Structure 1
Amino acid sequence: MEASDLIFKTIEKLELGKILAQLKDCCSSPLGQDLVERLEPTTDEEEIKVRQAETEEACRLWRLFPDFNRAGIKDIRALVERAGVGGVLTGEELLQVASTLAAGRRLKKTLLQVEGAFPILKSWASRVGEFPRLEERIARTVREDGEIKDEATPKLLALRQRIYALQEKIKEKLEGYLRSSEIQKYLQDNLYTIRAGRYCLPVKQEYRNQIPGLVHDQSASGATLFIEPLALVELNNELKRLAAEEEREIEAILYSLSNLVGGEKEELTRTLQALARIDFILAKGLLSQRMDAVAPSLNTTGRWKIVAGRHPLLKGKVVPITLWLGEDFDILIITGPNTGGKTVTLKTLGLFTLMAQCGLHLPAQEAEISVAGPVFADIGDEQSIEQSLSTFSSHMSHIISILSQVRPGTLVLLDELGAGTDPTEGAALGMAILDYLASQGAKVVATTHYSELKAYAYVTSRVENAAVEFDSQTLKPTFRLLIGTPGESNAFIISQRLGLPEEVLKRARAYLSEEQVQISQMIQALAKDRQASREALLEAEVLREQAKEIRERAEKEWEETLKKAGELLEQARREAYDLIRRVKLEVREIRKQVERALAEEGYKDKIKTLDKVRTQLGLLSKEITDKALEYQPEVNGVPPVMVSPGERVWVVALNQEGQVLTFPTSQGEVLVQVGSLKVNVKLDELRLLPEKREKSKEQGRWVVQVTTRSLRPEIDLRGLSIEEACHQADKYLDDAYLAGLKIVSLIHGKGTGALRAALHRYLSTHPLVKSFRFGNAGEGGSGVTVVELK
């Protein structure tokens, strides 16, 4: 059997056609339904990704616009084709063309105006053509009932006016016959009718010679003759002639309109293809919503994982299935009672894979699907979800075909492997088949009742047992799949609960072979050990999660503590600088008092007093400044790449200085001593402190003098931070002004120019500065700023 035949049979067995029928129901037009009929699973990963992206985009559109309108599109492909080869369309057919074009135009406009990322749908919408001239021409020519309008052409209007007038004239004559008492007695009914397109009177058979005229028809009984009076023959002839001329004019109009349609054949064909694709894509999204489905993650490495999957064809309350394959094991052997859900599990996995390869979403909480290979299933000729009916020969012939086509990545589903023959031989064949499939790189899920295959799963690598759960109390399956646990037939338990005598049960157990008992006991022991291991792992996992939670809570509390500490330090720094600003204000006030005192007699004594006050204020300002600088050190703004034990660093989160105690770990963390506290800190939360910090402080100290006689005409600000340099300059200018200096120099160096620019901005707004400039060649050049005080 060829691979294509196997795939076709698998699609049939897994009932993909029923899913596609649901997809067709989600289409709004035959155009989309036609694409559904041509949809087949593929193993082309890129094609599957495109299909899935289409579905996901459609889902997002439906979520945003639940009432999205896509109605009005009809399948006019045959009409366009006929018009393209010169055929004439009827009025009704032209209306179908016009309404489809209008619906396509509205759909295009809506999709292109939708906000958000819908690249696929918008791309297809942009391919929809617009035909305003054709739409307008049909609307102007054809009535809603498909008849041609009178005003379609001037000639048609004139013909119909003449026809109407002639009809009225004929009717008037007929009314005259009907009103005549002499004529009425010859008539079967007091009315006129039309036969063969000519106006006639219903005349009784026996009076046919009383009304001269032409007989055009008679009643079924022959009692009534339909006679055209001779007086109307010429009028009817004229009416017939005008009607024929009208028909020719209508034919010409229809031909003209059909010719317009045929002239747009290529563009119309492209438009219909785009509309079909849009309808198809939106149908996939709608089906996903109806199934409450999710987009599967895709891989080509042979891994499947389905969490809470629901077979989409089962009605009522469905027990969800959770299974995985290809991660820890490549073969899964499912055992358990009949009608317990084993076959449903096979079909769910296979159908989900086919649906994913078709670009459809899957009804599950979570799904990962391998799409690298085909799906082959042996589920029996008459298999349905409810029952399994097949023979050993039909099973084996199908399995032989599968073995001939299997390749790496193939998903093989085998129901009741080895059944239908001697159990010993069937089990041996089953194990050999599984060995071969594993050697070919296939992934396999098989169901069985054989204990030998359960034992095979325990002793063979990459093979795992699973069971469908059975409730021994209700004697019914729960339909839950338990991976890692072998299933039991439960024949003895069921028989015992149904009332089979204990004596019979004992005899039945005695008939079990010693080997069967040993296998059963071994499986039970292994299952018990595995369950204990799983419980231990579960307990360890719970403890790990608890420890993780405790650690996260502690880290959160620690971060909050660090944050509060940082806020307190920041508050202290702000308070220190506020105090400095208040001192400056007091100094300026004293300066004003000095200026007033100089204008009075006895100012020398006052100057001595002022020197003492100024000295005390200067010392206080310096003390506060040094204190504030403890909260705002000069640090390198770039996190260090490496630090060594003993280095001094600034801890950003704590806003404090600390000492490194260890080298960085592989996670980039070091242990830092901050006061009496030891904390683990990441490198990117540290800043290096320059070694010249103390030197910088000393430079700031010796240039700030508080007595008039010792004040130097320059201050060296090199090595200081911008904030500290501006602060030192401010104090120095105050002292220089009080000392009576008119020209002073600020030494800032050349460097990057950042400090120089900051000082110049500061000087431009200082109330004591009259002007400032760069130093001359003998004064230090651009590394010095010369300031003239007021």
Structure 2
Amino acid sequence: MRERDLIKLEFFQVLERLKTYTHSKATERFVDQIRPLTDRQLLEENIRLVEDFVHVYEEISLYKFDDVEDLIKKSSIKDYILSVEEALSLLKVLRLIKEVRKVIGEKVQTYKNLAHITKSLYLFSYLENAIESVIDPRGFVKDSASEELRDIRYKIRETEKEILKRLESVFSRPDADRVFSDKFVAYKNGRYVLPVKTTEVKKIVGVVHGTSSSGFTTYVEPQSVIELNNRLTVLRDEEEDEVKRILKRLSSLVGEQSQRLLEAFRTLIKVDYLYAVVKFSKEYEGKFPQIGDYVDLSGVRHPLLIFLKEDVVPIDIRIKDKRGLLLTGPNTGGKTVALKTLGLCSLLFQSGIPIPVEEATLPVFEKIFIDIGDEQSIEQSLSTFSSHMTNIADFIPLIDEKTLVLLDELGAGTDPVEGSALGIALLEYLKEKRAFVFATTHHTPIKVYALSSDYYIPASALFDKESLRPLYKIIYDAVGESMALAVAQRCGIPEEVLLKAKEFLPAGFEEYFSARDTLEEYIKEYGERLKELEEEKNKLERLIKEQERIKEELEKKKKEEINRVIRDLKDRFEEFLFEAEKHIRSIRDRQRIKELFREKVENAYREEVEEDLQVGDWVEFLGSKGKILELKDDRANVLFGNVKAWVKTAQLKKIEAPSEESPPEKIFEFKKGLTSEINLIGFSVEEALAKLDLFLQEAHSMGLKSVKVIHGYGVLKKAVQDFLSSSSIVIFHREGYPKEGGSGTSLVYLTKD
């Protein structure tokens, strides 16, 4: 898209305002490079990213950070040494990257599009620790950065102590008040000196290092500290060399990570940009339009006017069914603002920035051209009309069906007859190219052309004729009056001039305007009633949706309550059974109570919550998820991972089908590793019977025909055989043959049901 069109539509002014919400000069530079996208897929990705970011931006604490891109690039250059300030700036960025990654990373599972951000927000814990261990937050290299630096600085401090001790002792001379201008140790030219009165300077043996601006004081380095000051200078040089060596080593570490650092920093800039976009759009409750093949902006406002004026009146802009809109009406009626609103909102939308609109649909334009305002050019000796024609001639060869053309005051600036003819010809040309067109005009021939066009929708900007003020509303399928005489009267043109003008109007002109006004009133009334009907329709649809939602919630709560009651009853029965078992000595009676309890619970569950299961449904059983392969009576053949099992439908819970991205469900362990035998030796009778009961139920659910029970001899054998005789799922049982384990085992044959 042409820069001149972006300028005319005030696109860059919006970007300037957007920059006030950023936290870094680097982000401001990024904003300067933003341009509208023409690739639909890329635009949709950007929109989804912004929409997901809306849900997390309040949890992100961004603060001012420096532009470290150049220093990261320099660090990869051999022998480059980072300054302490640069290292601290980089450390601040690394900490911010870590904080941002933590917040966004916690939301990625819910808002999938944020993964595009987190995957390049690398962590640099080693580098962060390295900087912290070397650089003090106050802006200097720590003593602990190296053993050598610690030793050098220790020597510097000791030497300074000795120098100060010797110099301060000089102030104890009897004539000190007469010799020294002040009793403090000064520091000149990297050496410690004393402030001596210039008139007394010969009384101090040493080296002069200058005088004060008034000449009253001369700074003298006494002979007694010259050697110490020399030693201190050498130590200072050694300190500087060691600091450089430490910073060079640190710079090398940064250089090794320069590519990943650049990628992470640019992602941080993108996060800051997204934060600015969301904060900016929240100022006007912006939202993204749907992508479609027509223009429909309901309740749209100009994105800049919102910040400049209070109570900006929203308008409706529609280019629907047809592909062109011709807006008429008086000057100051809001035609140009409407035209620029469409253009600017399209640019912002395609830049991934929400727009101030209630509901909207927009195409993705590959090109947007505008011809607007005073195009006069003194430098190029072009009149206003010539400049308009030059501009249009420049973009007209580039127009196609994916182009939006905005033409303000079509046909103006020249003879009205020729201007109208040229304007109609341009509209016809744009029609042949299938372009989207929004044009404004005052010329009657162009208005009449639009009324009979199958490509252009005539529309009028409403104007209050009593107050002569614009209403900032558009009515469609109507043409508006320019109201030149009324506006001229308001501007102070004498009455006699206006009366004279009316005399020169063509015959029947006033009757035409009267009839048109009546028609516009009908259209306005029809439009208002149509809008009321639309609102009622939308209200009714919302009520229906709300009723459906409430119904679903009630059904869900009903099922949850039924399940809760059944779980509660089951827990109570379990308690009852536990208590009853203490008083029941007969294993056969105990088993009958269990069977009765299980039967009652299953019947209750089947009657209350049994769901309509179908082949292909996904279900849950004992915490594992599977798919129904076959249904037979009250049982279902379910595939759990790689294992098939027949399960009673009353024991299954219907669930949503897992997404393709979901990891494969783990099958419950007893299904995957179930053998056809159980060893009860070593357990008490109570423990053994409990384990046997569970084992038989699992085997029966898996469809096993027979199992082997190892019980040994004595009391446990008798208890097991009594239990098997009373079980409803056991057809018969027998002692094992010698090759099957002998009489210490039992072979159990299970029912098919």
Q: What TM-score, normalized by structure 2, do the two folds share? A: 0.67
CA distance in 1 between partners of 2:255 and 2:82 (Å) = 10
Q: 1:382 to 1:420 in 2, by over 3 A?
A: closer
Q: Which residue pairs with 1:23 in the alignment?
A: 18
* 2:391 counterpart letter in structure 1: H
Alpha-carbon contact 1:140-1:152 (below 8 Å) kept: yes
Q: Deviations over 1:58-80 (max 9, x none)?
A: 22324xxx353133643211111
* 1:85 is the counterpart of 2:85: no
Q: Which amino acid aligns with 1:428?
A: A
Q: 1:245 to 1:110 in 2, by over 3 A?
A: same
Match of 2:303 in 1: 312
> Which stretch has the larger CA shift, 436-445 or 19-28?
19-28
- 2:250 corresponds to: 257
C-alpha deviation, 1:115, in angstroms: 6.9
Structure 2 CA distance for partners of 1:462 and 1:170, relative to 1, 3 Å: same
In the TM superposition, what is the alpha-carbon distance from 1:539 to its structure 2 partner? 6.5
CA pair 36-539 structure 1, distance change in 2 beyond 3 A: closer
- Partners of 1:333 and 1:551 in 2: CA distance: 33
Structure 2 equivalent of residue 156 of structure 1: 149
Distance 2:303 2:356 in 1: 7
Note if contact 2:26-2:269 (Cα within 8 Å) is conserved in structure 1. Answer: yes
- On the 8 A contact 1:323/1:483 being kept in 2, the answer is no
For structure 1, list consecutive stretches of 5 or more residues without a partner in the other structure: 384-388, 558-636, 639-770, 775-790
Please report how far the alpha carbon of residue 381 of structure 1 lies from its aligned counterpart in structure 2 after TM superposition.
4.6
Compute the displacement of 1:33 (Å): 2.8
Q: 2:345, 2:533 → 1: CA distance?
A: 36
Alpha-carbon distance change, 552 to 293 in structure 1, aligned in 2, over 3 angstroms = closer
- Retained in 1: the 8 A contact 2:194–2:221? yes
1: CA distance, partners of 2:273 / 2:96: 16
RMSD, aligned CA: 3.4
Distance in 2 between the 1:26 and 1:401 partners?
37
Q: CA deviation at 1:177?
A: 1.1
Q: After the TM superposition, which of the residue ranges 473-482 and 320-329 deviates more from structure 2?
A: 320-329
Aligned to 2:164: 171
Measure how far apart 1:352 and its partner are: 0.7
Name the CA distance, whole Å, in 2 between partners of 1:284 and 1:345.
23
Q: What is the aligned counterpart of 1:138 among 103, 110, 131?
A: 131
Q: Is the 8 A contact 1:486 1:523 kept in 2?
A: no
1:154-213 CA-partner distances (Å, limit 9, x unpaired): 221122112111111111111111121224412222222111111111222232222111
Equivalent residue for 2:446?
453
Task: Work out the CA distance in 2 between the residues paired with 1:202 and 1:211.
Answer: 11
What's the counterpart of residue 46 of structure 2? 51
> 1:48 Cα deviation (Å)?
1.3
CA contact (8 A) 1:292 1:363 kept: yes
What SS is found at the alignment partner of 1:295? Answer: coil
The 8 Å contact of residues 333 and 464 in structure 1, kept in 2 or not, is answered as yes
AA partner of residue 89 (structure 1): L
Q: Secondary structure of 2:179's partner? A: coil
* Paired position in structure 2 for 1:511: 504
The residue identity in structure 2 corresponding to 1:322 is I
Q: Which of 281, 286, 297 in structure 1 is aligned with 2:279?
A: 286
Which deviates further from its counterpart, 520-529 or 213-222? 520-529
Q: Please report how far the alpha carbon of residue 393 of structure 1 lies from its aligned counterpart in structure 2 after TM superposition.
A: 1.4
Q: Distance in 2 between matches of 1:292 and 1:111?
A: 23
Rounded to whole Å, the distance in 2 between the matches of 1:523 and 1:530 is 10
Change (3 A) 1:182 1:549: closer
SS in 2 for 1:185: helix
Decide which moves more: 241-250 or 279-288.
279-288
In structure 2, C-alpha distance between the alignment counterparts of 1:227 and 1:83, rounded to whole Å: 44
TM-score, normalised on structure 1?
A: 0.64
AA in 2 matched with 1:468: A
Q: Name the SS of the counterpart of 1:283 in structure 2.
A: helix
Please tell me whether residue 34 in structure 1 is matched to residue 26 in structure 2.
Answer: no
Matches within 5 A, 1:463-474: 463-474=456-467
User: CA distance change for structure 1 residues 274 and 363 in 2, over 3 Å: closer, same or farther?
Assistant: same
Partner Cα separation in structure 2 for residue 99 and residue 365 of structure 1: 40
CA contact 2:475–2:523 (8 Å) conserved in 1? no
Change (3 A) 1:450 1:553: closer
Deviations 1:283-323 (A, max 9, x none): 22222212210111112x3x111111110111223443433
- In the other structure, the counterpart of 1:214 is 207
Deviation at 1:347, TM superposition (A): 0.5
Instruction: Return the letter of the residue paired with 1:57.
Output: D
Alignment match, 1:347: 340
| Structure 2 residue 450 is matched with structure 1 residue 442 | no
Rg larger in structure:
1
Amino acid at match of 2:42: E
Shift of 1:403: 1.7
Count of residue pairs the alignment pairs up = 543
Distance (Å, rounded) in 1 between the aligned partners of 2:134 and 2:26? 27
* SS at 1:225 equivalent: strand
Q: Distance in 2 between matches of 1:310 and 1:90?
A: 49
- Report if the CA contact (8 A) 2:59-2:103 is conserved: no
Counterpart of 1:312 in 2: which secondary structure?
A: coil
Does residue 236 (structure 1) correspond to residue 233 (structure 2)? The answer is: no
* Deviation string, structure 1 residues 37-85 (Cα, Å, up to 9, x no partner): 21111221111111211221122324xxx35313364321111111111
Secondary structure (helix, strand or coil) at the match of 2:115 reads helix
Match of 1:118 among 85, 99, 111: 111
- Residue type matched to 1:137 in 2? A
Amino acid corresponding to residue 371 of structure 1 in structure 2: V
The aligned residue for residue 69 of structure 1 is 61
* 2:72 counterpart SS class: helix
